Chain A
Amino acid sequence: MNKTKTIAMILAGGQGSRLSGLTHKIAKPAVAFGGKYRLIDFTLSNCRYSNIDVVGVLTQYKPLLLNAYIGTGSSWALDSINGGVSILPPYMGMDGGNWYNGTADAVYQNIEFIDQYDPDNILILSGDHIYKMDYSKMIDFHEENNADATIAVIKVPMEEASRFGIMLCDEQDRITDFDEKPKNPVSDLASMGVYVFNWKKLKKELILDHKDSQSRNDFGKNIVPNMLLKQNKLFAYRFTGYWRDVGTVESYYQANMELLMQNPPIDLHEKEFPVFSNNHNAIPQIIGSKAKISNSLICDGCKILGTIRNSIISNGVFVEEDAVIENSIILHNAHIEKGVKIFNAIIAEGTVVKNNVVVGKPADAGIEPEIELIYDSVYEGRK
């Protein structure tokens, strides 16, 4: 097989349990975002933009929708002749098999896959972050420093730093210390979960890590601290753009709603660096004669007969007459029947909200409303 300089492995097996009902039926990277997108679109579009032709997607939790969605990777122009996208669930071998037991273990179990391409570097990515990043610049930085590993970092507010893996660096941005979710953070440089490793080095570490029965087989908790301990050369690559980790329902709601701001912090429409997605052959939006729409994003396949304010409406949503949707996110193929009122809520994919049901409360001035999440297949109101 042709030699490939850098290949990417995307961690897409997580449940994202804090997203509650949004990940009941699908893996977190398959959760819809910004109307027509799904979270993994961002990472895959970044790979395309960075000219990375070999991408492994490590799946485990509820992978059906994700597998179907990714397909051959053609939607992201990743269906290259020598490589392309491979979906990598855990598999059996002569000595049995195991579920992926942590992020490092998932990559360990696919050493054979990676070795087929004999790469110099390996890029480890998360499939559930929202950002646009040119990985090739980070790989150049990694090679210029002759580093063993490079970790992308972003400045976060000090009070939130304890939610992240926090880096301490010297003047050359060489990492001197790394703390996973520290109680008392000493820096505001947070790991974005984007790593470039020298593959030979990482392979050794993964094998050692696998033998260590005490290890939690995690990049942040085990691999990176171990490499630091051994005086390996680890560098921090400073990223300054937009980056969101939508781990909770609240952060998911916020990141969506940012797209409706006067100047959204991420430009999804940019011609130079577009975010691709697997597009449906859906009919254009049809807006009825009594519809009222204001400050909203609406996708293909929607039929809108009611009122939509400050909301994001995903593909194929049907909103019947006299329904009102305000400050809400309605995901794919939901059906909002006549007279329904929805305020400050997220309606999951395929949910039918029955006639005249009220979801959520209108926002009171100054008070942050609580976000209601409805994921019943048919919702007839709280009993």
Chain B
Amino acid sequence: MRDTMGIIINNPLHALGALVKNRNPITMPFFARYRLVDFALSNLVNSGIFKIAIVTSDKYRSLLDHVGIGQEWGLSRKSQSLVFMQGSSQFGHSDVQHINMVDFIKNDVVFERNKHKNIIISTSNIVSNISYEKYIDFHNESQADITFLTIPGSEHNTLEKEVMFITDSNNGIKEVKIGCKDVCDRVYSGIMIINHSLLDKFIEVSENTREYEMFRIISDSIDYLNLKYMDITEYYRKIDSIKNYFDANMELIDIEKSNEVFKENNVILTKVKDNHPTLYKEGCDISNACIASGGVIYGKISNSVVFRHAHISENASVSNSILMEDIKIGKNAVLDFVIADRNVTIGDHVILKGTKESPVILDKETVI
């Protein structure tokens, strides 16, 4: 995979609402110890791609803190590298929905320096464990200009702004539709393999025409391009709403499902921290939960995802909830359908009940 470089882009995900008020979705905490970027980054590294660029946004502190020099992903070696690219939002161009050409125009030096044949552009808001080898092989064999990784059908089209394709029987793409409500054959997964030389051309076109949405450029020049698609066969979930963020967390508590993502060989890597094992006290009652290390649990937890350093007091009851790092829950408190951001403190006897459709969302450092 030496002829392939990876780029992880950074979409604004306003649909995540309060959860991304103070953070970039790329470092959205997920499943007790991960951040969303871990999946895109691990997929590239596990596929043998060691030249990786990550697009930053205006809120980049937590990204740099989490990824660092990429040592957890083996990217801090002399022969391999990780670069950060200044993102479009830092230049006041954050209004593009899908792939923002400003990200590439402003970092053209990165592409001039690298002579990789293919570039994988991956969004950061996916939960998946994908090996890119077979997709790259397909891309090379079919001599495609771009190969889009896709999901069959249009049922994934929860948001009307999604990119969809009308396809032919030969893995070809006849039409690219951006944000339409028509029935289509396939939905864009957020991952594509593009020829480096074509990306260079797109950068030129975009600079000249000031069209910054890559999919419009693609759509405009579709007659001259060999566009292919390949359906993703691995576990894949797109995170672009509070609902599918919640559902994806809950779904993975099932061991068979989580085995599809957290494999023994293609490990999803993340920043490790020093925490003690979780201490489950006498009288606790845990069922169907994913719990990170560093916790002390006295109370009851069911159908929930609990991040590091949780303190759940006696007779507290947590169900159908996602509780991020450093949560403290007082005695006899009851939480049902709650998503609590980091460092939230819930006092004794507090009762918080949301619903599946609209969970209670608690901002960072909330004290109740």
What residues of chain A have their CB less than 8 Å away from a CB belonging to chain B? Answer: 34-36, 268-269, 274-277, 279-281, 283-300, 303, 305, 308, 312-313
Contact = CB atoms under 8 A, between A and B. Distances in A.
B255 A276 contact: no
Given A295-B281, A308-B280, 12 more contacts: A34-B277, A277-B274, A284-B31, A284-B290, A284-B291, A284-B292, A286-B255, A286-B289, A294-B280, A295-B282, A297-B280, A300-B277
A288 B276 contact: no
B258 A299 contact: no
The 8 A-B pairs at the shortest CB distance, nearest first, are namely A284-B32, A35-B277, A279-B272, A289-B288, A297-B277, A283-B262, A284-B292, A299-B277
A303 B283 contact: no
Given A268-B276, A280-B272, A303-B255, A288 B288 contact: yes
B278 interface: yes
B277 A284 contact: no
B33 A298 contact: no
A232 to B, nearest CB: 40
B157 to A, nearest CB: 31
B298 to A, nearest CB: 11
B279 interface: yes
Dominant SS among interface residues on chain B: loop
Interface string B159-202: 00000000000000000000000000000000000000000000
6 contacts: A36-B293, A268-B276, A287-B287, A287-B301, A288-B287, A297-B280
Interface in B37-74: 72
B258 A297 contact: no
Contact of B280 (A268, A276, A290, A298): A298
Dominant SS among interface residues on chain A: loop
A180 to B, nearest CB: 36
Contact of A295 (B276, B280, B290, B293): B280
B269 interface: yes
Interface string B328-363: 000000000000000000000000000000000000
B242 interface: no
A281 B270 contact: yes
B30 to A, nearest CB: 11
B253 A300 contact: no
Nearest to A285: B291
A200 B293 CA distance: 46
Q: Which of B255, B284, B286 has the most CB of A within 10 A?
A: B286
Interface of B: 31-33, 72, 253, 255, 258, 262, 267-270, 272-274, 276-294, 301
Nearest to B280: A293
A281 B279 CA distance: 20
A276 B274 CA distance: 6
Contacts of A284: 31-33, 290-293
A297 B290 contact: no
A51 to B, nearest CB: 18
A346 to B, nearest CB: 16
B288 A285 contact: no
B172 to A, nearest CB: 39
Contacts of A303: 255
A276 B294 CA distance: 13
A294 B282 contact: yes
Contacts of B32: 284
B277 A298 contact: yes
B6 to A, nearest CB: 19
B255 to A, nearest CB: 6
B216 to A, nearest CB: 39
Contacts of B284: 293-294
Given A285-B292, A297-B277, A298-B277, A291 B33 contact: no
A279 B255 CA distance: 22
B208 to A, nearest CB: 45
A274 B279 contact: no
A305 to B, nearest CB: 8
A288 B255 contact: yes
A279 B274 contact: yes
Contacts of B289: 286-287
Contacts of A287: 286-291, 301
A76 B281 CA distance: 29
Contact of A297 (B33, B279, B301): B279
A285 B278 contact: yes
A149 B288 CA distance: 57
Contacts of B253: 286
Contacts of B262: 283
A47 B103 CA distance: 46
Contact of A286 (B258, B269, B280, B285): B258
A296 B272 contact: no
Nearest to B292: A284
Contacts of A308: 280
Contacts of B31: 283-284
A276 B278 CA distance: 15
Contacts of A300: 33, 277, 292-293
Q: Which of B270, B278, B301 has the most CB of A within 10 A?
A: B278
Q: Which of A283, A285, A291, A300 has the most CB of B within 10 A?
A: A283
